[in-house]
Amino acid sequence: MRQLTASLEQWLKTFNLLMDGAIASGMPLTVATAREGLATITRELVTDIPDIALVKDTVIAERIPVRIYHPQPEQALPVLLFFHGGGHMAGSVDVYDPICRKLALHSEHIVVSVEYRLAPEHPYPAAIDDGYLVLQSLLQALVRSELNFIPQLSIAGDSAGGALCATLARMAQFDDGIEIAKQVLIYPSLDYTLSFPSVNQNGVGYLLQQSRMDWYFSNYFQHNEDRRQASPVWGPYSMALPETLMITAEFCPLKDEGKAYVEALRKQEVNVEHVHFEQMIHAFLNMENITKKECEQAYKAIATFLKK
């Protein structure tokens, strides 16, 4: 029987009552409320913020802000490029700061968190353009910053950030100038057509609502783009895709597209690992105070995968 953890179930009951009240009062869904909602949840529920030896804000390619986390500045470490979630409309380097700190400490990688452009001000494909430019420019930028690093580049992202990762990996498989060692996809959004069964199964009552996803994607795709073509889950796939870790959650609307991506990679004989959290919902890394055990398991799985 599918069952949430007790603490998560209780939190969701309170959250859903608040949302129902907001809807009943006529409170509109706006860009500002979406951004503040994700920021508030993360700020209130991820309160353990570890120290990192070196944290540096800089700019890549003269226009894209990034934040660099180097847990051992005296030592050369491999690099992990991170793209935050938020439906392509919310999230930021600041919101995801504690999560990136934990990723850097657990993985013993230099984490570079990207402040890519958000919709609706900057619709598709602005975020992808930013991500690809960072992929192309990052290692040279780290040289100029005089940081100790190993020129081995992996990518990671949650939700919409996972979509960006998978999209960038899809592009880079045909680009001899970019080599991605590994990718970590954390409950990623991989199908902009919303056609997998779990969207309906988990699309109401589990934080990430199907109606909210429709709204996100209508703000992201503003010029009648082919959403299926833009969706990483529909390929194209080749053996040149990076070794992949997929993290999914049982009560997440996106779990089926994550599973489909795993199967497609396996058919191409790409090395892929899949870690599924039976009692979790979407965005559980942003709720660490009530999902502490599962967050620790996720960070450990990511670290083990990246260090192999």
Provide the annotated active-site residues.
159
Indicate the residue type of 43. Answer: R
Q: Is 276 helix (H, G, I), strand (E, B) or coil?
A: strand
Peptide bond into 125 cis (omega under 30): yes
Length of the chain: 308
Q: How far is CA 108 from the centre of its chain?
A: 19
- Structural contact between residues 208 and 281, judged by C-beta atoms closer than 8 angstroms: yes
Q: Among candidates 246, 245, 249, which has minimal Cα distance to 294?
A: 249
Indicate the residue type of 212. Answer: R
Q: Where are the beta strands (DSSP E) in 61-166?
A: 64-70, 77-83, 110-114, 149-158
- Structural contact between residues 119 and 86, judged by C-beta atoms closer than 8 angstroms: no
